[in-house]
Structure 1
Amino acid sequence: MWGKLLGTAFGFLFGKWLGAILGFYLGHLFDKSLKQDFDKVGGFQGFLNGDGLSERQALFFSSCFSVMGHIAKSNGRVSEVHIRAATAFMDEMALAGDDRREAQHAFRAGKEADFSIKEAVREVREAFARRYDLLQLFLEIQIQMAFSDGHVSEQEQALLREVSKHLGISQAQFGFLLKRYQAEFRFRQQRAQWQSQQSQQRHNQQRQQRSSACEPEHNAISRSEALAVLGLSDGASDKDIKRAYRKLMSQHHPDKLVSQGLPEHMMEIAKRKSQSIQSAYELLKQKRPS
């Protein structure tokens, strides 16, 4: 109600009847969806500028790879591990042709001595000011790059804290995200190891189909690891688990993130995170404490 009234009044003030019609519609978006749908179209700027979404997607894409390059060189030189991680990241996104060359160019730009991580990250924050989930994903991607060799060095952690600060994410939340990704990394390793073992067992027992041949996944992976993927400790209740699961799935929903400015190439990243969250939750439902 108030959105329509105020939108119509201000629209008429600045654009007469055409402005009043536009203001009424924008006010309707506020009233109907409590600002959520309005943010999805990019606010006033996105509504008036049809290219706003594609511009934000291009900024997210290039900034993501340039900051990744800067973090990869935080120890003085880019290691082969980081190069393979960046290449795997591009492969996961199925980047080819001009898109892949653009990503490689941005990654190299981030390694230059005159690269300003402060300016690059603040530009992202300004473009996605009302899209906290997307800013958080940006940080999670940088954590993933830093953790590509299995650990985060002091130099990398210092840069990640700087990225967090310029994104407007608290240090407490940064610590939470770092621990959660470490748990996610171990969880994926355990699942991959379990799947490899089961594949080998099936290969060795092709002529002996027995139900006991394969150990259930929920016995092979600890409950503590699954809880950590959801950002929870061992004392978490079923209610805590369900609440954390729903929140994380909402934060990493690919379609929602794309509507906010995530490049479509990067949907696979959000899908992969959602799959880890889903797998951890399914395991916890099966493996309840006695």
Structure 2
Amino acid sequence: MSWWGKLIGGGFGFMLGGPLGALMGMAAGHQFDKGLNAVDLEPGNTERVQLAFFTAIFSVMGYLAKADGTVSRSEIQMAENIMGQMNLDANQRKTAIELFNQGKQANFPLNEILQQFKTECHRRTNLLQMFLEILIATAYADNHLDNTERSALLDIAQQVGFSAAQLDQLINMVGAQQQYSHQSAQTSPQSSLKQAYAVLGVDNEISDSALKKTYRRLMSQHHPDKLVAKGLPEEMIKLANQKTAEIKSAYDQIKNSRK
């Protein structure tokens, strides 16, 4: 049974406990009409982490969208796109929307949510990085990252264990990935190649061996099966696949340009 099946069948949102469990309990309370059964999943269990990720990502996405004072149509569309890529059923989608709306509330307990989420992830750095990358993409949904959003992202990043320098690198890479994936036929070869280097977070003076090493590291960090095994909800595997496709495309373009 999947993490969602356990949630519906056993009231797992309540079993998770803490602010994440309370948040999921409010968001999916309508799912628990049949009462609660014991669902004993130890901290670190993959399905427990998947539930924590689902709860944290959509609620913090809502918080971030409201960070600049206004939730833009682009940010709502980004959240809806992610839900669409996840192929959520009606109940899952309703729960995700409710989590997003809870994140927009003035009393949203961001610090407590992030503290528990980091603890639930048990030092799964690649999973935490994916969490940040999705949030950065949400902030970039309107093709602009203002100072308020950057400040909110820095606060979130530091609370889950990333430095300001690491966040800046992720922001640059995610921004480049979005430009690269949406480039048009009118994009010049020079501009496209420049974006390809930015997707990998390197400059055009990098050696071939260092380039290959960077490529392999990025592919390993975003490998869908590895991320799901660490706690990425199975429904988000399309996001990971998209990431690896963009990384591979950029690497192939750079490699071909060096022949």
The residue that corresponds to 1:246 in the other structure is: 216
The residue that corresponds to 1:203 in the other structure is: none
Report whether the alignment pairs 1:163 with 2:168.
no
The residue that corresponds to 1:175 in the other structure is: 168
Report whether the alignment pairs 1:144 with 2:137.
yes
Is the Cα contact below 8 Å between 2:54 and 2:233 reproduced in 1?
yes
Higher relative contact order (CA 8 A, sep 6+): 2
What is the Cα deviation at residue 93 of structure 1?
A: 1.3
Q: 2:84 aligns with which of 74, 91, 113?
A: 91
Question: What secondary structure does 2:182 align onto?
Answer: helix
Give the gaps of 5 or more residues in structure 1.
1-47, 198-216
Question: What secondary structure does 1:77 align onto?
Answer: coil
Identify the range of structure 1 (93-102 vs 276-285) with the bigger mean alpha-carbon deviation: 93-102
Instruction: Letter of the 1:92 partner, please give it.
Output: Q
Is the Cα contact below 8 Å between 1:62 and 1:102 reproduced in 2?
no
Instruction: Letter of the 2:227 partner, please give it.
Output: L
What is the Cα deviation at residue 236 of structure 1?
A: 1.1
Instruction: Name the structure where helix makes up a greater proportion of residues.
Output: 1
Q: 1:237 aligns with which of 175, 185, 207?
A: 207
Is the Cα contact below 8 Å between 1:218 and 1:287 reproduced in 2?
no
The residue that corresponds to 2:179 in the other structure is: 186
Q: 1:59 aligns with which of 28, 36, 52?
A: 52
Report whether the alignment pairs 1:111 with 2:104.
yes
Aligned equivalents of 1:170, 1:104: Cα separation in 2:
30
What is the Cα deviation at residue 221 of structure 1?
A: 5.3
The residue that corresponds to 1:70 in the other structure is: 63
State, as a whole percentage, how many aligned pairs show the same letter. Answer: 39
Instruction: Letter of the 1:109 partner, please give it.
Output: Q
Deviation string, structure 1 residues 86-128 (Cα, Å, up to 9, x no partner): 1111111111211111111110110011002111111111011
Aligned equivalents of 1:231, 1:173: Cα separation in 2:
11
Aligned equivalents of 1:125, 1:49: Cα separation in 2:
15
Equivalent runs, 1:9-88 vs 2, <5 Å: 49=42, 52-88=45-81
The TM-score with structure 2 as length reference comes to 0.80
- Alignment CA distance shift 1:220-1:94 (3 Å): farther
What is the Cα deviation at residue 55 of structure 1?
A: 1.6
Is the Cα contact below 8 Å between 1:218 and 1:283 reproduced in 2?
no
- Alignment CA distance shift 1:159-1:50 (3 Å): closer
Give the gaps of 5 or more residues in structure 2.
1-40
Identify the range of structure 1 (96-105 vs 132-141) with the bigger mean alpha-carbon deviation: 96-105
The residue that corresponds to 2:17 in the other structure is: none
Is the Cα contact below 8 Å between 2:44 and 2:121 reproduced in 1?
no
The residue that corresponds to 2:20 in the other structure is: none
Bigger Rg, which one: 1
Is the Cα contact below 8 Å between 1:218 and 1:286 reproduced in 2?
no
The residue that corresponds to 2:146 in the other structure is: 153
Q: CA RMSD in A?
A: 2.1
Deviation string, structure 1 residues 115-162 (Cα, Å, up to 9, x no partner): 021111111110113210001111111101000000111111111001
Report whether the alignment pairs 1:279 with 2:241.
no
Report whether the alignment pairs 1:122 with 2:92.
no
The TM-score with structure 1 as length reference comes to 0.72
- Alignment CA distance shift 1:51-1:147 (3 Å): closer
Instruction: Letter of the 1:154 partner, please give it.
Output: N
Deviation string, structure 1 residues 144-185 (Cα, Å, up to 9, x no partner): 100000011111111100110100111111111011111111
Instruction: Letter of the 2:57 partner, please give it.
Output: C
